[in-house]
Structure 1
Amino acid sequence: MKQLVQALLVFASFTALALAGTTGKVAGIVKDQKTGEPIIGANVVLQGTTLGASTDVEGRYVILRIPPGTYTLVVNMIGYTSVRITDVRVNIDLTTKVDVELSETVLELGQVIEVVSQRPLVRRDMTSVEARVEADAITNMPVQEVGELLNLQAGVTVGRDGAIHIRGGRSSEIAYWVDGKPITDAFDGSLSIPVENNAIQELQVVSGTFNAEYGNAMSGIVNIVTKDGGAHYAGNVRMYSGDYVSGDSHTFAGIDNVSLLTNYNIEGSLSGPVPLGNDLVFYLFGRYFKTDGWLYGNRKFNTDGLEGDGVALPMNWSKKFSFQGKLRYELSSALRLSISTIGNKRDYQDYNHFFRLNPDGDVTKHEKGYDLTAVVTHVLSPKTFYTLNVSKFNKEFREYLYEDPFDSRYYHPDSLNEQSYSFSGGGTNLHHFRRQTTTYVGKFDLTSQVTPLHQVKVGLEAKLHRLYLDEFNVVPAVDAAGRQIIPFQPDVRDITSPLHDQYTRYPREFSVYVQDKFEYENLIINLGLRFDYFDPRADILDDPEDPNIYLPFKQKNKFDVNGDGIVDQSDNQADASAVARRLAYWYRKARPKSQISPRLGVAYPITDRGVIHFSYGHFIQIPTFIHLYQRPGYKVTTASILQGVFGNPDLKPQKTVMYEIGLQQQISEDIGMDITGFYRDIRDWVTAGPPIATPVAGTAYSIYINKDYANMRGVTLSMNKRLNNYYSFNISYTYQVAEGVNSSPDEEFFAARDGADPTKQLIPLDWDQTHTFNATVGVGQSDYGAYMIARYGSGLPYSPSITIQSRQGQNLTTGLLRNSRRRPSNFTFDLRGFKGFDVFGLNLSVFLAVLNVLDTRNAVDVYGDTGLPDKSLVALYLHEDPSRNNTIAEWFNNPSFYSEPREVQFGFEISF
């Protein structure tokens, strides 16, 4: 720890500190319109804010720490006519350049020249590929969740499980930031607390090389800035309801029973000044959403195996409540305090095909989380400010059928002796899972505009985690002799058993970065350096050949527990005294890890309408905590099999080197485009290691190691047209090749278990989508219009298999090369139309949204022997058996192999 502190102090002594990813800036030159000479001392302010600047001896000005949004810029100078520039858009991490020419006063006193600013189609200071979606566009798009916004961006693909991948990386390689702080769940790399679409002011997706202020990510950054309160009261209420409407009742049972209450949504916001004074403003948002889903089961059986009532029940339902609040207090013109919170609670169920005729027997899932943040911003001078950010975010996930594991309604499914290819005829899912991730974040940042062309950012961050996990299966209770009690009684094994995992861990992260931005007239350079440090604060085995502290294999590690002078099977080696003796030498501490990562981005304007950009960087990511701490205690038994993969707290950071080069070009007055080529090289990807042998013949296990390699390359093309002549569009196309040794860290384990050789070649990854096309088109004006979204993706890979049946009825399944075939491509078209009215001074908007307008049947999964979602060759060889609870055709008609059918929504919004 002493060495860490020294390293941080040395690193920080060369730098000055910065806020990451919540504000932008406006800069430019004020000149005399007649002579072209710079005007010194002109006042430049953002109307309705306390933000502004004065021009220097070269006529230059810079306004820092501007939240994203649309502003009016006012320029005043004695002896000159004032100029008001409207629709000035500010984006996070970018400079909006506004040059102004003032004319000598010839107008009447008080008159102001009005100028409407147009959003630039080419951003001169954008050194890597990124996409931005702002609040005014999100409002009318036919999307409901943040993930749907992300799916529309170039370089983003969606896997079979719905997980998001950026530029071919694993879904856990994305870092999520909200209001200037990381909010990624360290357990699995997901977004810890979802942010609702209508609470977003700006969404930024950095799919290219990102600056040094962003860390612990290898694929990309999702940066969200939420809405804030203003000087005037504003609010809205939005409601909609609808259902899935499709004629394919063969695939989707029960889909023809249409009800407007199947899906419904209620949300609203209120913002403005607190009545105590304009120095204190607030923003509140809340949403309730409920859906029955589109996948139904039939209660043909009860959980006890008796005949059910035949009622159709939803099996992929969901209901959630979310909220957001902000309070901002302007203590003075130089000091601001902001307190914010985000929270959500969601209960849902994922479709389980096995329980289709026993839908009451499957588990439900429950997640909740919250974030609480306090931010102090202090302006030291017009060109320097610092920010102190302290936050806590918490996510809890639980999965069970009944919360009490000893609930008498649990019924053991083994007693029902189900046939293969048969739905459950009773019984319950016995799995119990609970985890909780709590993270405390402290950030101290400072930004300084050292010169008009030179901005320095530096940041220091600490993250303290608490991870708790408890996982087990309910098992049959046994008597003193070890015999199962009949009838079934639920029981839970203690944590010395391989059937029960429980742990609490307290890992820590620290980081420091420096980011320098040079903005010359014809060259912009982003140069950064980042230092990361991670301490897993956990133990690893001293002797991997003897892993289980509760059941040692080597004789030297066994003790005379019962005191009879003999070490034999009568000694309970799981006794607390024996475990305590072994604990003194059984483990050793995992080592802390550190890494320095350089970043470089360059933008070179070749004309006033074209910019070439190039970027290069080294990026590291701490493996997700699930791979560090999985299955604690290394509870390997004497069974002569390969017994699974265990966590490894001594894993090194995963590394990638990323390059990209591209061109931004303005094609016309309204259309701009960007074409970029990229290459990624990934090393030390986490995978299951080779089997570790034990003294017991045939007994082995595996741990996660840093070994796998992956390679991604491709081209992204995006084109956008700003609103003019009643329409706008945004089109993106991605061509990419994503290859690696293994898609999942567990794949190598399954190969070893099945007797296959280790993978020695690059194969397409599960989410390797060669061609991805997205188009968003908006038509109309502010009070009426429509948004259309079209998405196309070429087929994802799957692993083919050949099934051969002999006359004797024996099956032989031979696996071919993994991911060597492609699923069918997919296409979806969504539409939303709206019309606004003025009703008693309020804005009323009614809308109709149709998702998957064409009711396209997109395959998200297929059978390996046919490559089709509805046919398997196995069905040709099986015979109908009356002991099964279904026909063969019913078993292979799996509706979860398809994406959701057409959905229709009706709704309205009232705002002021």
Structure 2
Amino acid sequence: MFGTANANPQARDRGTLYRLERQTYISGALDFVSQIGRHHELKVGGDVRRYTARRFEIEPWVMRLTEDGTPTDPKSIDAVTFATQGEYTGYGFDLYGNEIDDDGFSQGAVGNRVPVDGPKNPVFTAVYVQDKIEYSDLIINAGLRLDIFDTDDVRLKDPGNPEVNDVTGLISEDAFEEVDPFKQVSPRLGISFPVTERTKFYAQYGKFIQMPELRNIYHGNFGLSDQITSGGNFFVNTIGFGLDPIKTTSYELGFSQQVGKVAALDVTGFYRNDKGQITVVREESTGPNVATYARLANADFTTTKGVELRLRLRRINRLQAQINYTLTQAEGSGSGELSFRGAIDQATPTPTLINPLDFSQTHKGSVILDYRFGKNDGGPVLQQLGTNVIFSFNSGHPYTKIALNQLGQSEAYDAGVDYMLDSRTREAAEPINSSTTPWNFNVDLRLDKSFNVTGDISATIYSRVTNLFNTRNVLNVYQLTGDDDNDGVITDPQFGEELRNTNGGEDYAELYNAINIQNGQSYFSQLTNTAFTNTVQRRADLWGHPRQIWLGLEISY
């Protein structure tokens, strides 16, 4: 990830972010089950998990400070200069990426020293009680769960004007306060009973909570102080502090219908509301100590509703089948943590309209066929031979087409995707998420043969093929064109000519097409291997994987 632009075309001024994260945990759980009389099965239990979280971030371009005849050891640079120019932030590592276990300081051979934060040690504890009540055909599952989240975190007492140390330029320790452990009791209720001999009704209700990702909760004081006091451009690795858990309320209602002697149909309607989701907000400065800055907060929500259908056919003449289909609608005002970064960066109002979300898939389904010979069936060659075929499909996901008004700070390699990261160079060409990526279709195949080795030992030889027909499924598209094979920049009369004139004419265009258009390399590297992945938490691929073949052997005893 280090390099110069001349030696490595992917190494650009103030380019790729270097990130090192390590999370380990120790956990324990205890569960107790007791049958109380004929009608009650009582379950009581709990678990506890203690994490050790470490994170180190720096911009590799800072190593250029050691070039041009100066010593190559980064410790030869003044520590404050190294940390500031590299936009260092982290905890559990010192300024140079070495693990530490306590708060302290990093200092080079010359100059000042930089305070560094020790690892974070959040502890998550849960205790639950559940009673399964059975009266004839009526089954009720009722329970309560107590969650205690001690995040080992601090927050600013006055986010708009925290106290800053005049000497170090860092936020004073007195400006922080510890975050109290979060506690919540969540009810769970499930009920099922037969309506007829062939029909069963069921319903479920529950409340759930989940902490945001640890990377969003913590920030070292040096990086936090840098963002809060400097202001200016939007920081993609946005700070977060004092974040609460995300709260989910879930409802399910459905029935199971026996169809003849060979099939069963399950129909389930669901509704889920997620509150307190993480998004970026603008913290206005209320005093002279800090600039207006962006931070993460529990300020967004998502509503998901839909219907699931499942038809199960029991095995007849060696063939078993299952058909699944889900109709879903996921809506909200923002699809990810940094969905509002454009509005925050430009100091404009954040969206309030409800729109389809990036990850919503209206239609999704599969057909599973399993044809299998049993023991002593089909002779010595065919017995215990089976094949499984899965056909799956989905209707793509929403996206927003945009119009490009300038190339901005893009360079030769990333000109076709930079506008997806830099909102200053684009504007929406339609209402948010009005367009949809293409449908996807896929077939997976497994062929296996089981046999007895000796005594209680058996073996299975198998071959598994994913994407059997090597279909090129489009997962994402360029927002400028809505295509996966045309980014709309290199072919644009104005911008394409500007890029060719600046970077080598038609030779550059041929190289650009080979690397970025035919192979999608810039899309993948720029939208995955940067802090932008905090927005979507996924690999940024244009296409699904090609055909893959596995051969294996399983031993059972």
The normalised TM-score by structure 2 is 0.75
2:393 corresponding residue in structure 1: 792
CA shift for structure 1 position 737:
0.1
- CA 1:650–1:833 in 2, change beyond 3 Å: closer, same or farther? same
1:532 corresponds to 2:147? yes
For structure 2, the 5+ residue unaligned runs are 92-118, 375-383, 408-418, 420-424, 521-540
Distance 1:911 1:515 in 2: 35
1:395 corresponding residue in structure 2: none
Which structure has the higher relative contact order (CA within 8 Å, separation 6+)?
Answer: 1
CA shift for structure 1 position 433:
2.6
Aligned to 1:690, the other structure's residue is in SS state strand
- CA 1:438–1:813 in 2, change beyond 3 Å: closer, same or farther? closer
Distance 2:148 2:461 in 1: 52
Distance 2:450 2:134 in 1: 43
CA RMSD of aligned residues (A): 3.3
1:774 corresponding residue in structure 2: 366
- Correspondent of 1:499 among 87, 91, 94: 87
The size of the alignment, in residue pairs, is: 465
CA shift for structure 1 position 908:
5.2
1:739 corresponding residue in structure 2: 331
Contact 2:218 2:241 in 1 (8 A): yes
1:190 corresponding residue in structure 2: none
Contact 2:311 2:324 in 1 (8 A): yes
Contact 1:645 1:701 in 2 (8 A): no
Distance 2:152 2:11 in 1: 46
Identity, in percent, stands at 28
CA shift for structure 1 position 734:
0.4
- CA 1:411–1:653 in 2, change beyond 3 Å: closer, same or farther? closer
- The Cα offsets for residues 778-798 of structure 1, whole Å up to 9 and x where unpaired, read as 002142121101000002111
- The Cα offsets for residues 219-259 of structure 1, whole Å up to 9 and x where unpaired, read as xxxxxxxxxxxxxxxxxxxxxxxxxxxxxxxxxxxxxxxxx
1:679 corresponding residue in structure 2: 271
2:441 corresponding residue in structure 1: 827
Greater strand share, structure number = 1
2:26 corresponding residue in structure 1: 440
Deviates more, 1:655-664 or 1:696-705: 696-705
> Map of 1:865-904 to 2, 5 A cutoff?
865-874=480-489, 875-877=491-493, 878-879=496-497, 880-881=500-501, 883=504, 885-887=508-510, 888-890=512-514, 891-895=516-520, 896-904=541-549
- CA 1:610–1:886 in 2, change beyond 3 Å: closer, same or farther? same
Distance 1:805 1:432 in 2: 28
Distance 1:590 1:496 in 2: 27
1:851 corresponding residue in structure 2: 466
CA shift for structure 1 position 823:
0.4
1:272 corresponding residue in structure 2: none
Aligned to 1:824, the other structure's residue is in SS state coil
> Map of 1:253-332 to 2, 5 A cutoff?
none
What letter corresponds to residue 901 of structure 1 in structure 2?
Answer: P
- Correspondent of 1:585 among 153, 171, 174: 174
For structure 1, the 5+ residue unaligned runs are 1-400, 402-409, 560-572
- Correspondent of 1:860 among 451, 459, 475: 475
Distance 1:461 1:545 in 2: 38
1:460 corresponds to 2:52? no
- CA 1:822–1:505 in 2, change beyond 3 Å: closer, same or farther? same
- CA 1:631–1:871 in 2, change beyond 3 Å: closer, same or farther? farther
Point out the structure with max Rg over C-alpha.
1
Contact 1:590 1:650 in 2 (8 A): yes
1:670 corresponds to 2:262? yes
Aligned to 2:480, the other structure's residue is in SS state coil
- Correspondent of 2:127 among 507, 512, 519: 512
- Correspondent of 2:342 among 750, 756, 774: 750
CA shift for structure 1 position 439:
2.0
Deviates more, 1:776-785 or 1:469-478: 469-478
Contact 1:546 1:694 in 2 (8 A): yes
1:619 corresponds to 2:208? yes
CA shift for structure 1 position 613:
0.2
CA shift for structure 1 position 723:
2.5
- Correspondent of 2:354 among 762, 768, 788: 762
1:558 corresponding residue in structure 2: 166
Distance 1:907 1:585 in 2: 60
Distance 1:789 1:617 in 2: 32
Contact 2:241 2:296 in 1 (8 A): no
Contact 1:476 1:488 in 2 (8 A): no
What letter corresponds to residue 518 of structure 1 in structure 2?
Answer: I
Deviates more, 1:793-802 or 1:601-610: 601-610
- CA 1:545–1:837 in 2, change beyond 3 Å: closer, same or farther? closer
- CA 1:855–1:709 in 2, change beyond 3 Å: closer, same or farther? same
What letter corresponds to residue 798 of structure 1 in structure 2?
Answer: Y
Distance 1:765 1:430 in 2: 28
Distance 1:464 1:845 in 2: 39
The normalised TM-score by structure 1 is 0.47
Contact 1:475 1:491 in 2 (8 A): no
Aligned to 2:216, the other structure's residue is in SS state helix
CA shift for structure 1 position 745:
1.1
**Runs (4+) off by over 6 Å:** 425-430, 838-842
Greater helix share, structure number = 2
CA shift for structure 1 position 721:
2.2
